[in-house]
Every structure is written in C-alpha cells, then in structure tokens.
C-alpha cells in the first residue's frame, strides 16, 4: 500500500475511534458487551487437519454471506491447489484480543487443529486498549497454540494517528515483535492493496466487500503457503 493510502486508511480508523462511544469499562477490560458470539462452531471432519481462522469481523465476514468470507474462500483455494485442510471460521465480529484469549483454549483444542491464523487487534485499538495489554493477550493465544504444536500465521494491523504517536508506535510494533519473538509466520497487513479503495470496501470504508475479501483471502493464502503440507 502506498504511504498516502495508508495514511487515509489510518485517518478513517481514527474517525472510528472518535465515534466509537465506549465507556471506561470497555476501554480497559476489552468491552465485549453484546458482541455476537457463536454458540457452537460448525461440525468438522476430524480426519482432516484443520486451519483455525481466529479473528474478528474481518475473519467472520462482516456484511458478507458465508460463501464470501475469507475462510470460505481460503478453503476453496486450498481445495483447488490440492491441499487437504479443513478451514474453520472462528471469527467473531467485534472481538478483541481479550475476548480471543478467553475463548482460545476451547477453540484451538479441536481434534486435528494444525495451523492458526491469528487476526485480532483492530477492536483493541478502537476501544483504546493499551497496546501492552493487547500484546499480552495475543501472546497468550500464541503460547496456547504452540503448546498444541500448531503452526501460526500472525496478521498485523495499524493504529490510527488520532491516538497519538506513542500509542501508534507501540501498537504497530507489537505484531512484528511477537512474530519475531515466537518465530511465527507474519503478514504485516491483510488489507494490503484493499484499504481505502472504495470499490473494494463496504460503506464504512473499513470492512472489505466481496471483491476486497477475495483479495484479502489471496494475501492470507500467499503468507500461509510456507506452513502448508501436501
């Protein structure tokens, strides 16, 4: 993404921060509130190794049909390329790193879970959660996955400039620092070449539309390739 497009995207996120309207409890405890959470995940086939797509609305497919979500598209791409994996959509719209850490154990301990795609952090930023807390929550998820001998693809995100230079720097560096510390695969920005392009996004300017999500699925697939086995 060009510097100009990235700046515009961060400004858009900054406006979301200013209009989010969460209380003090939301800001410092994760603010799960009325976040939509699935009661059960779809039944899966134990015999196939699983890729757990673990994240927020970008993973869940906010504003899209199930067949337009990136985990579904990733499954189709894997099938077409001859990879025998089952992709599990464990995305929850509105989820934070805290919510992720609270559901990680029962989500990751599925039979046959081999790879984790970890995409969380944007809602922490929108709620103004201290980056150190977000980083600690993501770290707990990474550690849990590694205890289960799972390979990990960590997806990064950028903070809005309205939160200040110090916050922005601490937030932005949390993701590559974790990837380096725990030797995970790393995708700096899953919305590369998508963010701030009206034709690739929904009306909110943040969530990709069907075409943008297809590009996001390609970005994630390319970063996932080194972790795959045939």
Active site residue 204: yes
Picking from 215, 159, 157, 219, the residue whose alpha carbon sits closest to that of residue 189 is 157
Distance CA 165, CA 97 (A): 22
Considering the candidates 93, 95, 124, 207, report the single residue annotated as catalytic.
207
The yes-or-no answer on residue 19 being catalytic is no
Give the active site residue among 84, 177, 180, 204.
Answer: 204
Helices (H), the chain: 3-19, 24-29, 57-60, 70-80, 97-108, 122-126, 131-147, 165-182, 210-224
Q: Which of 127, 148, 155, 138 lies closest to 58 in space, CA to CA?
A: 155
180 classed as catalytic: no
Catalytic residue among 56, 57, 95, 124: 57
- The SS3 call for residue 52 is strand
The catalytic residue positions are: 57, 204, 207
């Amino acid at each position: 993404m060009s510097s100009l497009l990235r700046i515009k995207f961060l400004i858009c996120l900054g406006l979301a921060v200013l209009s989010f309207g969460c209380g003090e409890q939301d800001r410092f405890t994760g603010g799960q509130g009325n976040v939509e959470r699935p009661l059960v995940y779809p039944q899966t086939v134990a015999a196939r190794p699983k890729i757990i797509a673990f994240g927020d609305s970008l993973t869940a497919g906010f504003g899209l049909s199930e067949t337009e979500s990136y985990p579904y598209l990733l499954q189709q791409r894997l099938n077409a390329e001859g990879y025998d994996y089952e992709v599990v959509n464990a995305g929850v719209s509105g989820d934070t790193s805290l919510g992720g850490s609270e559901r990680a154990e029962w989500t990751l301990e599925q039979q046959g879970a081999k790879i984790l795609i970890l995409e969380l952090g944007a809602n922490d930023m929108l709620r103004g959660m201290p980056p150190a807390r977000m980083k600690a929550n993501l770290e707990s998820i990474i550690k849990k996955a590694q205890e289960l001998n799972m390979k990990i693809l960590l997806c990064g995100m950028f903070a809005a400039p309205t939160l200040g230079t110090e916050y922005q720097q601490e937030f932005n560096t949390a993701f590559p620092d974790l990837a380096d510390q725990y030797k995970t695969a790393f995708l700096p920005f899953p919305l590369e070449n998508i963010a701030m392009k009206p034709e690739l996004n929904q009306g909110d300017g943040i969530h990709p539309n069907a075409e943008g999500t297809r590009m996001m699925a390609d970005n994630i697939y390319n970063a996932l390739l080194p972790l795959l086995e045939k």
